[in-house]
Structure 1
Amino acid sequence: MNRSTRATVSSGSIVAVAMMVMNVATYGFNLAAARLLVPAEFGALTALLSLILIANVVALALQASIARRISVHPDHTAQIVLTASRVALAVSLAVGLAVALSSPVLTPAFSFDSVWAVIWCGAMLVPLTLAGAQLGVAQGTGRWGKLAALYVGNGLGRLFGGVAGVLIEPSATSAMMGLAIGAWLPVLLGAGLLKTSGTGDVHSRRPLVFETVASASTLLAYFAFSNVDALIARGGFEAHDSGLYASGLILTKSTLFLPQFVSVVFFPSLARDSSHRTRLRAASLVAVLGLLVVAGSAVLPQLALILVGGDQYGEVADDLWLFALSGTFLAIVYLLVFDALARRSTGVAVLLWVASATVFSVAWFWSIGIVGLVVTMACVGAVVAALLLAWPLLRPERGHDAAEPAVADDPALPDDSVTGFVPGAADADGDVERH
């Protein structure tokens, strides 16, 4: 193993461990909230967290855009960071304000007790978006230790801030307040990554904004699909059943997050390898890990019940393996979405939006309960995964351009130029940027 390979393995391992710590901390908060909140309040909190996940695609897209530009143009790092800092501040405030202003609409739509729950969601998105820009700078410059610290800070901020909010008052609104405060921890840990002042040449902000929008389109479609059932359960079920479904979603999300390290490790190969062997290997590994959780949930439902909140959610114990199955298919889709981004494939967002509409239509026209909704998600997820596996055969991949114009003259990207990012894969999608 040469020095370059060893360095790649080392940096990938550091970030993979940090992501696991973040996911464990996030799971810890979800488990604590499930035990400290009554089912109705926990159902409301789950819906609020789903809104956060959907709106957070802006942060992920900003992270991807910044990381790509720094990786492709290392000689312009100072100028890119200076431009990114200004864009990040404006975008974070815009996203937070937009969500906060939607509170009069979202509060009655999802039966929240107070508009403050959604307002705190908006407040949380401000530091989350800023942290996304910091992650992009750390990833693009290869500062893997800093990148890992930001991910760990994200998880610990959610764990301690969210639990503190629930302990102050056992309500979804108080939990969101604690989460909004805790979200500033990674921003503080990343202080200095974003330059808020400087005298260097400031590149046009428009290319970065356009690229961020393009990146967000596919990511938004994925997160909307992976969270559509949580929103349906909150808006269409009674409060108690909504809470039961929310407890099952803990297992769904855990199964989804468990194999994320596969995307981290395989993303460089997915971007470079024109064959389909790597994609099939990665998808197979994700499937095996997910099916192990499914089998464990089916054989030991009472143990699985402990992991999702305890006896007060006992009504859903025998159905938890279905939630794990849904999470398995969502994890495969997650991997294949990043595979499509790595290969510069287009049209994936349309497929994911159609999948979301399908789940919503089934729930709207048929009065399905908890089991019906989770089975619908699993079936649609399986179909989407199968289509994405065949996607490179259905839609030819774009070729690599031979040249790259200077960053300062970088035009706005076309709508079908979607950027993908997985932490720990700095130059995974090649050394050229497409226009």
Structure 2
Amino acid sequence: MSSRARRALPVAGLSLGLAMGLANLMGYVFVALLSAALGPADFGGFSALNTYGVLLAMPAGAFQIVVARRQTRAHRDADGQVTALTTSAVVGLALAAVTIASAPVIRDLLRLDTAWSVVWLALMVAPMTVTGALQGVLLGREAYRRLSVVYVVTAATRLLAAVCAVGWDFAVAEVFAATFVAAAVTLLVALLLARGDLAPGVRAPRALEVLDDLVRSNVALAGLMALSSLDVVLARTVLTDHDSGSYALAALFGKVVFWGTQFVALTVVPAVADASGGGQVRSTLHRSALAVLAIGSVVALGCALVPGPLVAFSGGPAYTDAEPLLVWAALTGTLWAVIQVWLFAGMSRGDHVMTIVVWAAAGLQSALVLLWFNDSPYEVIATVGGTAAVVALVGLLRVPKGETTPAPGSAETAEALGLTRE
């Protein structure tokens, strides 16, 4: 990368960070509007199904990383963006078909009024997945401004769907229908923004090659999403409709910390990959973890001091039961954010121990809630938070304590995340 590009990169990264921050803010307003419009019982069902949608959207994030890496390899060898886009569409359609076939089961499991809610969610998967691949094209081409527009449009169209839901008194199924329209509009915008970079390369990789890259590069990210997202689904499964809605609202404040500190974890990757030894890695990780803890502590303090106004603004008087849960949700989100730092650092060093730990913890968390600790929202949040604390401690113990040689593949991992500085 030229010196000019190096100087421009921080500015571009700042613009992308600001766009992601604005998108997260609009996402918060999206949830706040729907929580007030739907009420606790329906909002609990919406949140549980929406969390399932987040899990279905993981391939979209995976394709963004995989396609970005392919765009930056060998002087941006355009080795088959079209194939990658086709593969992403096939993956999205396959996930949609499976979800639609499972719609009656999901409806009964989450106690939804109609299976159409699941169908509309399923129809969103294909445009979201293809949009993820298009974001990868823009990221690989370092088109940060256009990528920022896609992030903002994604959030803005969903926010508009929430406004329509409030104005026209939508039910859960109608909300998902509106968000499907939002996903389709976002896809069209992404296609327009990336159309100039969609030149087929001299060698298009086979679909299986792209899928293999997809799986190998993103197992860790999927485990992190499972650990940090399944609690809302578990709460809907084991608690009453009203209690699951209160839990879902409180969980929002944990997600605020988790997503709001993601930029810290991202900056860890190139720093660790470039580190000359274990001492430097240790210092970087400790500073990053402390930054996350500081941000999380501010959010938790606010939740402890003014839970009433926060709940009133986020959901209204129907969610007063959520007030005591807010601080615990914020602390749990802080632990997830610390785990994110440890996990990304491990990926950059070619250390996959935390990947195994995160997946094991997600399974253990689910078993504990489903089988034993499910009598109240407090038992659920205590189980989820306790599991996160154990994983965070394991990650702390994995931080290098002395001078080490960078693990093979660390530079490739950093490149896969689109964060190398070379």
TM-score, length-normalised on structure 1? 0.87
- Find out whether 1:254 has 2:247 as its counterpart: no
The CA distance in 2 between the partners of 1:110 and 1:174, in whole Å, is: 17
**C-alpha contact 1:120 1:173 (8 A) present in aligned 2:** yes
Residue of structure 1 equivalent to 2:420: 427
- Find out whether 1:189 has 2:219 as its counterpart: no
How do 1:403-422 residues align onto structure 2 when only pairs under 5 Å count? none
Residue of structure 1 equivalent to 2:391: 384
Q: For the structure 1 residues 149 and 380, does the alpha-carbon distance in structure 2 shift closer, same or farther, using more than 3 Å as the test? A: same
The CA distance in 1 between the partners of 2:113 and 2:188, in whole Å, is: 32
- Find out whether 1:334 has 2:340 as its counterpart: yes
Summarize deviations over 1:401-433 as a string: whole Å, max 9, x none.
99xxxxxxxxxxxxxx978865xx4436xx6xx
How many equivalent pairs are there?
411
The CA distance in 2 between the partners of 1:396 and 1:114, in whole Å, is: 56
Q: For the structure 1 residues 312 and 165, does the alpha-carbon distance in structure 2 shift closer, same or farther, using more than 3 Å as the test? A: closer
Q: For the structure 1 residues 37 and 69, does the alpha-carbon distance in structure 2 shift closer, same or farther, using more than 3 Å as the test? A: same
Choose the corresponding residue for 1:399, options 408, 411, 422. Answer: 408
Q: For the structure 1 residues 72 and 330, does the alpha-carbon distance in structure 2 shift closer, same or farther, using more than 3 Å as the test? A: same
Q: CA deviation at 1:80?
A: 2.9
Residue of structure 1 equivalent to 2:46: 45
Residue of structure 2 equivalent to 1:87: 87
- Find out whether 1:158 has 2:167 as its counterpart: no
The CA distance in 1 between the partners of 2:267 and 2:184, in whole Å, is: 28
The CA distance in 2 between the partners of 1:401 and 1:126, in whole Å, is: 32
CA RMSD of aligned residues (A): 2.5
Q: CA deviation at 1:253?
A: 1.3
Q: CA deviation at 1:38?
A: 1.4
Q: CA deviation at 1:336?
A: 2.4
The CA distance in 2 between the partners of 1:206 and 1:322, in whole Å, is: 43
Q: Which amino acid aligns with 2:59?
A: V
The CA distance in 2 between the partners of 1:252 and 1:38, in whole Å, is: 20
How do 1:188-337 residues align onto structure 2 when only pairs under 5 Å count? 188-192=188-192, 193=194, 198=200, 200-273=202-275, 274=277, 275-337=281-343
Q: CA deviation at 1:145?
A: 0.6
The CA distance in 2 between the partners of 1:189 and 1:260, in whole Å, is: 25
Q: CA deviation at 1:321?
A: 0.7
Q: CA deviation at 1:165?
A: 3.9
The CA distance in 1 between the partners of 2:225 and 2:365, in whole Å, is: 14
Which moves more between the two structures, 327-336 or 291-300? Answer: 327-336
Q: Helix, strand or coil: the match of 1:91?
A: helix
The CA distance in 2 between the partners of 1:314 and 1:44, in whole Å, is: 18
Residue of structure 1 equivalent to 2:376: 369
Q: CA deviation at 1:344?
A: 2.1
Q: For the structure 1 residues 271 and 105, does the alpha-carbon distance in structure 2 shift closer, same or farther, using more than 3 Å as the test? A: farther
**C-alpha contact 1:15 1:148 (8 A) present in aligned 2:** yes
Summarize deviations over 1:316-361 as a string: whole Å, max 9, x none.
2133111111111112222322222222221333211221222223
Q: Helix, strand or coil: the match of 2:47?
A: helix
**C-alpha contact 1:22 1:155 (8 A) present in aligned 2:** yes
Residue of structure 1 equivalent to 2:353: 347
The CA distance in 2 between the partners of 1:204 and 1:392, in whole Å, is: 38
Q: Which ranges of structure 2 fall in alignment gaps of 5 or more residues? A: none
Q: CA deviation at 1:217?
A: 1.9
Q: CA deviation at 1:8?
A: 1.7
Identical counterparts, % of pairs:
24
- The answer to which structure has the higher helix fraction is 2
- Find out whether 1:121 has 2:127 as its counterpart: no
